[in-house]
């Protein structure tokens, strides 16, 4: 079922009240908050994001809401909603086939929707817990992490699963090296990072030289050999040489990270965290790994999933409903309850969900 939003009533003011008292990004900070786009009638946890570059539409997986919102980020509003999903977690957009892929954690399906009108055009059953989605830039294959340990490969042209790679446990964040098709996969339940030859369908490396637990987010440097992953316990970013698996350096990070992104234009790394911060790491000569933690940028507690698009020079972060301005006394791990929580000085939580749009500053 598809619901079209013709207008947004009152929620802009509502979220503005919730933002009162938050530190505001300025030109002196590495990220400026450019826009706050309300996501009306969205409750609970929000998961991954994807971009349709032709139409400049963002797709936001709303896990607890069983929906995906389609957002025109330039016009600053929700244009459409895909409803009737089953715990959507991952979203991926194939520009070549003009198709949106949605991974559902509830029934384990990947559902396919047309890019022009979001009409459902197919469904692929993977078994259970379909999660993160990436598009292989070499061949437009769709790679989906799922189940108790698997990567499914779907041919976007035929809309059929063509391969499966077995992993030791459920995969979380992963990244594809476009130079050779190697996939680097965070597997926190196995306490390792696996290197997968996706063309050969097998694991070719297992990194167990971790510096913490709960490694969920991962990214690779598009202009160099670095791989960054963020551990939640303790909260630290670790930089690896992805060609060798060697640890090159570590830096403290914000708590409850769920996204990490290289910004090659500004030579930075960003990490979005449920603690209400965005960690920023900058190039530093002589620093192990080459990056040093800079002062974090304030966001919204619970806003931990995001997407950085270098071509747009924008960082998009999803803030779930139920958060409040101020510092949380503990990690909420992004699973925000649909209820009012006590905020600073007794403030009730009435904030709506929103998409935060950040612009990097020099």
Task: Kindly report, residue by residue over 237-251, the tens digit of the pLDDT.
Answer: 999 999 999 999 999
Render pLDDT for 113-132 as a digit per residue (tens, 0 to 9).
999 999 999 999 998 999 99
- Rounded to two decimals, the pTM is 0.86
pLDDT over 90 at 35, yes or no:
yes
Q: Is residue 63 part of a domain?
A: no
Mean pLDDT, to the nearest integer, of 1-26? Answer: 37
Residues 162/155, Cβ–Cβ less than 8 Å? yes
Strand partners, 32: 359
* Nearest residue to 358 (alpha-carbon basis) of 252, 290, 279: 279
Q: Domain count for the chain, please give it.
A: 1
- Greater model confidence, 29 or 176: 176
The residues that bridge with 92 in the sheet, in sequence order, are 101
Note the pLDDT of residue 323.
Answer: 52
What is the C-alpha to C-alpha distance for residues 144 and 174, in angstroms, rounded to an integer? 10
Q: Which two tokens stand for residue 219?
A: 């990214």
Residue 325 belongs to a domain? yes
Predicted pLDDT of residue 289: 85
Residue-wise pLDDT tens digits, 288-345: 789 999 999 999 999 999 999 999 999 999 999 975 444 333 333 333 333 333 333 3
Tens-place pLDDT, residues 258-269: 999 999 999 999
Summarize pLDDT for 57-110 with one digit per residue, the tens. Answer: 999 999 999 999 999 999 999 999 999 999 999 999 999 999 999 999 999 999
| Residue 187, in any domain of the structure | yes
Which position has the token pair 């330039």? 74
- Does position 348 have pLDDT exceeding 60, yes or no? no
Give the SS3 label for residue 188: helix
Residue in this structure with the two tokens 């709960």, named with its chain if needed: 214
68 part of a folded domain: no
Cα(319)–Cα(316) distance, rounded to whole angstroms? Answer: 10
The domain that holds 184 is classified in CATH as 2.130.10.10
pLDDT(13) > 60: no
Domain residues for 298? 29-41+136-360
In a domain, 254, yes or no: yes
Within-domain flag for 49: no
Given the DSSP bridges, would you call strands 192-197 and 182-187 parallel, antiparallel or unpaired? antiparallel
**pLDDT bucket at 24, cuts 50 / 70 / 90:** very low
Q: Is residue 323 part of a domain?
A: yes
> 3-class SS at 272?
strand
SS3 187: strand
- The answer to whether residue 10 is domain-embedded is no
């Amino acid at each position: 079922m598809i619901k079209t939003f013709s207008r947004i009533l009152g929620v802009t003011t509502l979220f503005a009240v919730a933002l009162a008292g938050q530190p505001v990004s300025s030109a002196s900070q590495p990220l400026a908050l450019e826009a706050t786009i309300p996501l009306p009638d969205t409750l609970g946890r929000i998961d991954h994001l994807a971009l349709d570059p032709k139409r400049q539409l963002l797709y936001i997986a709303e896990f607890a809401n069983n929906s995906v919102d389609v957002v025109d980020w330039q016009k600053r509003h929700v244009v459409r909603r895909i409803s009737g999903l089953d715990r959507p977690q991952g979203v991926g957009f194939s520009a070549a086939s003009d198709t949106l892929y949605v991974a559902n954690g509830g029934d384990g399906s990947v559902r396919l929707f047309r890019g022009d009108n979001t009409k459902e055009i197919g469904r692929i059953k993977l078994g259970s817990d379909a999660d993160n989605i990436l598009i292989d830039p070499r061949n437009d294959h769709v790679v989906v992490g799922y189940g108790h340990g698997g990567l499914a490969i779907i041919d976007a042209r035929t809309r059929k699963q063509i391969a499966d790679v077995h992993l030791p446990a459920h995969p979380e964040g992963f990244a594809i090296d476009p130079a050779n098709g190697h996939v680097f996969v965070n597997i926190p339940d196995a306490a390792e990072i696996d290197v997968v030859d996706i063309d050969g369908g097998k694991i070719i490396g297992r990194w167990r030289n971790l510096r913490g637990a709960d490694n969920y987010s991962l990214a690779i440097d598009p202009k160099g050999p670095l791989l960054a992953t963020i551990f939640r316990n303790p909260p630290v970013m670790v930089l690896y040489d992805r060609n060798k698996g060697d640890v090159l350096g570590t830096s403290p990070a914000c708590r409850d990270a769920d996204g990490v992104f290289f910004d090659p234009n500004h030579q930075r790394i960003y990490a979005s965290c449920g603690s209400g911060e965005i960690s920023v790491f900058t190039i530093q000569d002589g620093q192990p790994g080459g990056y040093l933690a800079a002062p974090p940028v304030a966001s919204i507690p619970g806003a931990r999933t995001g997407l950085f698009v270098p071509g747009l020079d924008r960082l998009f972060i999803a803030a779930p409903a139920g958060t409040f301005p101020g510092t949380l006394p503990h990690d909420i791990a992004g699973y925000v309850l649909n209820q009012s929580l006590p905020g600073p000085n007794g403030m009730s939580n009435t904030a709506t969900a929103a998409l935060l749009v950040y612009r990097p500053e020099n």
